Structure 1
């Protein structure tokens, strides 16, 4: 019985040391597999459209604030894409701090033009919450090799 307790205590100590050493890596803000380790220049969507090209063609992303509907700042996202994804999603991911991932389904409004309306979550601790928008077709990333990362600063709801 004493031997079992000793092994359990040693195991617990090793587990705690491992959590302290490796835990921060899993809590970093840019933990998504499709963008981890890729340092791409940012493009501020509120300053104007973000455009880029890849092997599939030309992309264009536009974000327009629509006003505060009482629930927070509402935005309209429009994307011109050279592909026609089956289930097209814009995934909001915290750029300035991790606040989870928020998938926003995009609807087709014209040939290869997609649109969505959403309200971005705001951080109650920091009025300067910056979000990154990653594109996915279902669970598969669409812009993993993209040359830039579209971002915007969410307006605080006060």
Structure 2
């Protein structure tokens, strides 16, 4: 009886490791290639300078500027130049170093193909140097062909 329970428990543990193991490990160590989900893993630090890439549609550029301290914390301005005019263009903030939810930031059209938004990254009480990822979306659909993972490290308060 004890041997049967041990075997069943071992089988359940192995099944759980196979199913949930890859999700918990993420896409670490894949050498800058795209992960199984198609998400890019080569990082571009938006605060270090503009991130540029070319798709079949044309040339893209994303830049992030620190504007200073606001009422809710450090304010940033994200500017994205696109080769096309996406409808309902969003930048979605997602915690890269720690999951803290998703924060959609609507990008407003400034000039013909330049969009921007001013925002404050949510403050993390556990890690003051939180790394955020910026995913570009058209409505609910991710913008395809972005070969870079756009990231920035939020400045502590």
> How far did 1:38 drift?
3.3
> How far did 1:78 drift?
0.5
> How far did 1:151 drift?
0.4
Q: For the residues of structure 2 that align with 1:39 and 1:95, how far apart are their CA atoms?
A: 13
Contact 2:40/2:146 (<8 A) preserved? no
3-state SS in 2 of match to 1:145: coil
Compute the RMSD of aligned alpha carbons.
2.7
Q: Deviations over 1:82-110 (max 9, x none)?
A: 11111000001111111111000000000
Could you say which residue in structure 1 is the equivalent of 2:59?
58
Count of residues paired in the alignment: 143
**Structure 1, 44-53 or 18-27: larger mean CA deviation:** 18-27
3-state SS in 2 of match to 1:86: coil
Distance 1:24 1:122, change over 3 A: farther
| Residue pairs, 1:91-130, within 5 angstroms | 91-130=92-131
Contact 2:45/2:51 (<8 A) preserved? yes
Structure 1 unaligned residues grouped into runs of 5+:
1-12
Q: For the residues of structure 2 that align with 1:124 and 1:28, how far apart are their CA atoms?
A: 24
Structure 2 unaligned residues grouped into runs of 5+:
1-8, 28-34
| Residue pairs, 1:22-41, within 5 angstroms | 22=19, 36=37, 38-41=39-42
> How far did 1:145 drift?
2.6
TM superposition score normalised by structure 1: 0.77
